[in-house]
Amino acid sequence: MVTKGQQTINVTVLRFSPVEGKGERYVTYEVPFVPGWSVTNVLNYINENLDGGLSHYVSCRRGICGDCSVRVNGIPKLACMEIVTGDITLEPLSKERVIKDLVCLHKE
């Protein structure tokens, strides 16, 4: 959890759950800033400490498989390789193929 005086960043995530019938909405989380953390580390922190219902994909953690691809500030990136340096907005790679939140159907 964020402690008093600790530097934080705002992570805004486009949430969407078609199965639950919840429309698109942006949710902002205050997360501790930890130098060297990747987007995956930030998403794991949110999932473990702030919102256990946030869906995102984690696989190889080495930038090989590409399954963790998301849009970071509008640019496609691998969440496991992208280092966070400040406030960010995260969106699914393809809004048309969203299963839930940041998880997309990659192949048909």
Q: Encode pLDDT of 15-27 as tens digits.
A: 988 777 778 899 9
Which CATH number does the domain housing residue 71 bear?
3.10.20.30
40 falls within a domain: yes
For residue 100, the SS3 value is strand
pLDDT at residue 40 greater than cutoff 70: yes
Task: Answer whether residue 14 is part of any domain.
Answer: yes
Tokens of 22: 């919840």
The letter for the amino acid at 28 is T
Find tokens 């997309």 and name the residue: 104
pLDDT tens per residue, range 63-96: 677 788 999 999 999 999 999 999 999 999 877 7
Within a domain: 72: yes
Is 1 among the domain residues? no
pTM: 0.87
55/96 Cα distance (integer angstroms): 16
pLDDT at 89: 98
Number of domains in the chain: 1
What per-residue confidence (pLDDT) applies to 108?
A: 47
- Where does residue 19 rank: exposed (0-12), middle (13-18), buried (19+ CB within 10 A)? exposed
Residue span of the structural domain in which 39 resides: 8-104
Average model confidence (pLDDT) across the chain:
88
Residue for token digits 């794991």?
A: 44
Confirm whether 30 is domain-assigned. Answer: yes
Residue 3 lies in a domain: no
The answer to whether position 2 is within a domain reads no
